Amino acid sequence: MQSVKNELLAALATGLEQLSPGTGAKAALELPKVAAHGDFACTAAMQLAKNLKQNPREVAQTLREQLLKAEQFMRWVEAVEIAGPGFINIRLKPETKQQVVREVLAQTAQFGSRAARGQRILVEFVSANPTGPLHVGHGRQAALGDAVCNLYTSQGWDVTREFYYNDAGVQIATLASSTQLRAQGFKPGDAQWPSGEKAAAYNGEYIAEIARDFLACKTVSADDRAFTASGDVNDIDGMRQFAVAYLRHEQDLDLKAFGLKFDNYYLESSLYSSGKVEAAVHKLQEAGKTYEQDGALWLKSTDYGDDKDRVMRKSDGSYTYFVPDVAYHIAKWQRGFAMAVNIQGTDHHGTIARVRAGLQAANVGIPQGYPDYVRHTMVRVVKGGEEVKISKRAGSYVTLRDLIEWTSADAVRFFLLSRKPDTEYTFDVDLAVAQNNDNPVYYVQYAHARICSVLAAWGGEPSGLAQADLSPLQSPQALALMMLMARYPDMLTAAAQDFAPHDVTFYLRELAACYHSYYDAERILVDDEPVKIARLALVAACAQVLHNGLAVLGVGAPRKM
C-alpha cells in the first residue's frame, strides 16, 4: 500500500502543478478524522483558493476532475468526493487495500522499514554512575533509549547505543569511603557513619555486599572492565576500582534482564586523560568566546541564547561539569555521528543550553541544535494500591530489577513506553501482571497469540498465504484492519522523527482492538476454502505487524499465552 500511496501522491502533485505551478511539491494526503469520510483526505483546494482567487469548492471540483482522469486514480481509487468548504475525500477500491496483505507477507520482519541511508546516529542513554543499582527512572530511560534506537534502525540509520559514566569524582569517592566503612565493620546509624541530609555516604545494603566480596579478594567482571580485590581494608584506591567494577557488573545484570546491550561504554575520565577537555577549552579560547573574571574562566554562552554566561574553570582550577560534556559532544561529532540523541531526566534541563552554546562557540562545524534531547520524568510505583518508595536492597528507591521481578521485562518496557516521556507516570504493578484487557501489554500480546493459535489450528504452511486470492476480503471489519496495517510504515517514520515510541504503543493497542473486532465479526476457519485462505492471509499479516511493532519496543510476541 505504501507504493500505492506514493503513486496517488505523484498524481496529486501533477494535478496541483496544473492548477498552480510550484505547488506540486506540497502534495499531501491525510487521514480523515472520521473514518466514514474516506481513506485519504486532501486540503489543497482550500489552501490554493486565495491565490487562485476562486471559491475553495470550485478549486476542489477542478482538482477532482483532474485526479479522476489520472491513471493512478483510475486504477486504485473507487471515488473522489468533495465535502464541506473544499475537502477532497478519497475512497480506495477493496483490491487496493488488499495490497497491504501481500506487502506484509512478502516483507515479513522488514515491513515498515526503510532502506539504509548511510548515516550514523549515536543514542546515549541510561549513563548511570556506578554508585548503586539502577532505579526505575533508569528503567524508563533504558526503555526509551532502546526503542528510539530501534525506531531509527527501522528508518535506515546506522545506530550506536552508548553508555557514558563518571568513573571518578566526588560520587565515586563517596562510594569508596562508604565501602571502606562497611569493610571496617561500621553501618548506617553507628557513630562513625556519616549522617545528616547531605552526608557523604551510601546507605544501601548493596554497600555491605561489596565490602564482603572485597575482603574475600573476589574478582568482578563487567562488560567494560574487570578487577580483583586485594582484601586490604586500607587499600582505598583498590576499593574504589573494585566497587566501580562490582556495580558495573550489577548494572550489566539489570540491563541483561531487560534485554538491553550497549555497543560502547564511554568514561568521563578518558576525556581528561586523552586531553579532550583541555582541547575543547583551547578551541573556545581561540574562538574568542571566553573571558577571565574573579579568577575564573567564563564562556560567553549568552551569545548563543543562554540566560547568563557560565563558569568553565573555577578559581581553584577545576572545571565545571558542563565542560567535559562539551568535550564529549565534540568527540561524538568527530567520531562521525551526524546525529546524536541524549535520553535524560527532566532535572538535566539546565545543561542543554550551555552544552549547545559551547558546541557552537567551539566553531568545529557542529550544526545548531546538536545534540537532540529526549527528557523524561521519574516514575511512581504502586503495588497493592499503595506507593512503593523503598527497595530493601537499594535502601531508598525501587530498583529496575525489583520491577522486572514483580512483573516481567516485557511489561516494564511496554508500560514505561506507554506515555510521552515528559509526562508523569505511575507504574501499577498489579495491572502489569493482570491477565485481562485492562493490561495493555497483555491485550496486544494476546492478539498475536490468538492469531498464532488460529494458524496452528489450520495447520497449513503460512508462506503459501502470500499468493492467496484476497478478493473475498470485502467486509467493513476486514477493510478497516487492512487500512490500519497500511498505516504502520508512516507511523514508524513519524514516531522516529518525534522521538515518540509511545506512538507505537498506541498504534499496537489500536491494531489489537481492530483484530479482536474482526475476529468477533468473521469466523476464519470456514468450510469455503478460498474464503478461509484469504482470511488466514489477512490475520497472518496482522500477526506480523503486531510482531514487528512489539520488536521496535523490545517486547516479545508470544505464540501462546
The per-residue pLDDT for range 381-395, each reduced to its tens digit, is 999 999 997 655 556
Which amino acid is residue 7, in one-letter code? E
Q: Cell 476457519 sits at which residue?
A: 525
**What is the pLDDT at residue 395?**
61
Residues 6+ apart with CB under 8 A from 110: none
Q: Which residues of the chain have pLDDT under 50?
A: none
CA-nearest of 262, 320, 240, 272 to 138 is 262
Q: Which residues contact 7 (CB under 8 A, 6 or more apart)?
A: 72, 75, 76
The fourth-level CATH superfamily of domain 125-267+377-433 is HUPs (3.40.50.620)
The hierarchical CATH code for the domain 437-553 is: 1.10.730.10
Per-residue model confidence (pLDDT) at position 204: 87
- State which H helix or E strand residue 264 sits in: strand 264-267
Contact between 461 and 81 under an 8 Å Cβ cutoff? The reply is no
Pairing of strands 425-428, 264-267: unpaired
Strand order across the 264-267 sheet = 264-267, 158-165, 120-124, 339-345, 372-376
- From CA 265, how far away is CA 210, in angstroms rounded? 22
6, exposed or middle or buried, with CB in 10 Å at 0-12, 13-18, 19+? exposed
Q: What is the pLDDT of residue 391?
A: 56
**Is the whole model's pTM more than 0.85, yes or no?**
yes
Identify the DSSP state of 475: S
**Cα–Cα dist 186/290, whole Å:** 47
Q: Which three cell numbers stand for residue 169?
A: 569524582
Integer Cα distance of 301 and 309 in angstroms: 5
Phi/psi for 59 (5° steps) reads: -65, -45
H/E element, 62: helix 56-69
For the four alpha carbons of 288, 294, 298 and 300, in that order, the dihedral sign comes to: negative
Task: State the Cα–Cα distance between residues 359 and 444, nearest whole angstrom.
Answer: 43
The H-assigned helical ranges of 310-371 are 322-334, 349-361
pLDDT recorded at residue 62: 94
- Per DSSP, helices labelled H in 184-314 are 205-215, 236-257, 268-273, 276-286
Instruction: Return the DSSP state at 301.
Output: G
The secondary element (H helix, E strand) that includes residue 433 is helix 429-433
Q: How many CB atoms lie within 10 A of CB 276?
A: 18
Instruction: Please tell me the predicted confidence (pLDDT) of residue 196.
Output: 78
CA distances from 491 to 25, 155, 235, 286 (A): 21, 11, 56, 46
Cell of 72: 493512478
* Closest alpha carbon to 297 in 319, 276, 330: 319
Domain boundaries, the chain: 2-92, 125-267+377-433, 437-553
Listed in sequence order, the residues at least 6 apart from 86 whose beta carbon sits closer than 8 Å to its beta carbon are 43, 45, 46, 49, 55, 56, 57, 59, 60
- Distance from CA of residue 478 to its chain's centroid? 31
CA distances from 47 to 27, 64, 226 (A): 11, 15, 64
Select from 3.50.50.60, 3.30.70.260, 3.40.640.10, 3.30.1360.70 the CATH code of 2-92.
3.30.1360.70
pLDDT of residue 393: 54
Q: Which strand ranges, in their side-by-side order, compose the sheet holding 386-388? A: 386-388, 379-383, 425-428
Q: Are strands 379-383 and 425-428 parallel, antiparallel or unpaired?
A: parallel
Could you please report the per-residue DSSP string of 166-218? --SHHHHHHHHHHHHHHHTT--TTSTTS--STT-S---SHHHHHHHHHHHTT-
